Amino acid sequence: MSRGAVIGWGIAFAAFLVYASVNRGEFLFIDNANLMFHEAGHVVFGWAGYYTQILGGTIGQLLAPLACTLVFMRRGEAVGVAATAFWGFENLLYVAAYMADARRSAMPLVGSDESDWTILFTHWGVIQHDLTIAAWTSGIGWIGMLATVVWLAWMHVKGSDTGV
């Protein structure tokens, strides 16, 4: 990985971090892709019972970048690992926004008038903790995205162009 590529990716990651920070709690452009995997997850996990089907949306949107990350790890492509891991952690911001809205139910929904997280948090008896759980989820997302950028820079400094 050339120095120019690392700088380019660093700028792209930094620009997205600024964009996400300015638009905290809002639907980000990448969330259009996340939404497709989310909705597919409901279908894929539909066989496993009602609550698993509801949770399946989030599982689906997290499994997609995880699967891509594992493919790039197997290939030894550090930039691919970083980009898809970053995407996976960004997904947690999207999940957290809906978690934080569980009691308020003000965000737009697809195909339902009750949020997945309203249903799940109520079922689990933690609805009153929606904002706390969302804050932790978002925090993990932010830390993960930042750690991914640091990891990619470290891989460059270490000189690991191939092999993750």
64-77 confidence digits (pLDDT tens)? 999 999 999 999 99
Query: Model confidence over 25-65: pLDDT tens digits?
Result: 777 888 888 999 999 999 999 999 999 999 999 999 999 99
Residue 163 lies inside a defined structural domain of this protein = no
Query: Predicted confidence band at 160 (pLDDT cuts at 50, 70, 90)?
Result: low
Q: Are 153 and 6 in contact (CB under 8 A)?
A: yes
In a domain, 144, yes or no: yes
Residue at 70 is within a domain = yes
> Angle at CA 145, nearest 5°, toward 139 and 146?
90
Ranges assigned E (strand) in 16-100: none
What pLDDT digit, counting tens, does each position of 84-110 carry? 999 999 999 999 999 999 988 877 677
Question: Is 29 domain-assigned?
Answer: yes
- What's the sign of the alpha-carbon dihedral 52, 57, 61, 62? negative
Residue 7 has pLDDT above 90, yes or no: no
Of 60, 13, 53, 65, which Cα lies nearest the Cα of 35? 60
Say whether pLDDT at 114 is over 70. Answer: yes
Q: Which domain holds residue 122?
A: 3-158
Asked, for residue 128, whether it belongs to a domain, the answer is yes
Mean of pLDDT over the chain: 89
For the chain, the domain total comes to 1
Residue 35 maps to a domain: yes
What CA–CA distance (Å, rounded) separates 8 from 48? 43
- The answer to whether residue 164 sits within a structural domain is no
